[in-house]
Amino acid sequence: MKKYFITGLLIWIPLAITFMVLAWIVNTLDQILLWLPNGSQPRDLIGIDIPGIGLVVSVLIVLTTGLIAANVLGQKIVQLWESILARIPVVKSIYYSVKQVSDTLFSSSGQAFRKALLVQYPRHGSWTIAFLTGKPGGDAANHLEGDFVSVYVPTTPNPTSGFFLMMPKADVVELDMSVDEALKYIISMGVVAPPTRKPPERSALLNE
């Protein structure tokens, strides 16, 4: 009896959590409809609430914004908008910090979070999964002797929080593992291990 109960839990728990996350995303995006004036919201027009309309509207807004920003006029509007934000002290710091990070993460030519690494953290002899984010820059690079790389060590089971470290290149091991596989490994606290592959030769990326 216990065996069947546990088997049932293993089936329903992932499904329940998946639907809970999706419901949270849909409900959150549906809040965008509150921006519409009274009388023009969907429930006022058709008489009922339809879950997911906010998600559709959000996707359309993002696509429309990308379409507009892709042409010359749209780029000028974006530049004007950024020039206005640049004159607001606190907003400027927050906006440009977030923009720089997002540009790095989502750029097709960037290398941030493109490689899964194995590093020793938080002490020698303890190993964990990390992600390559680049190389040290600014004045910090002037105080580091030798070749260093910048890595992000995520926490478990929430990889959105973690630690930024600058480590010697020789102490970093590149893994034959995709970023998605590494994230699953981290989120599952090591339970969902990636498939075993033939050990590759040391990557040229870390030997540049």
- For the chain, what are the domain ranges? 2-106, 116-207
CB 134 within 8 A of CB 150: yes
What would the pLDDT profile of 142-166 be if each residue is shown by its tens digit? 999 999 999 999 988 888 789 999 9
Q: Check residue 150 and give its pLDDT.
A: 93
% of the chain exceeding 70 in pLDDT: 80
| Number of Cβ atoms within 10 Å of the Cβ of 169 | 14
- SS3 assignment, position 92: helix
Q: How confident is the model at residue 118 (pLDDT cuts 50, 70, 90)?
A: very high
Mean pLDDT of the chain, nearest integer: 81
Distance CA 188, CA 129 (A): 12
Q: Check residue 1 and give its pLDDT.
A: 79
pTM for the model stands at 0.56
- Helical axes 53-69 vs 72-85, angle rounded to 10°: 100
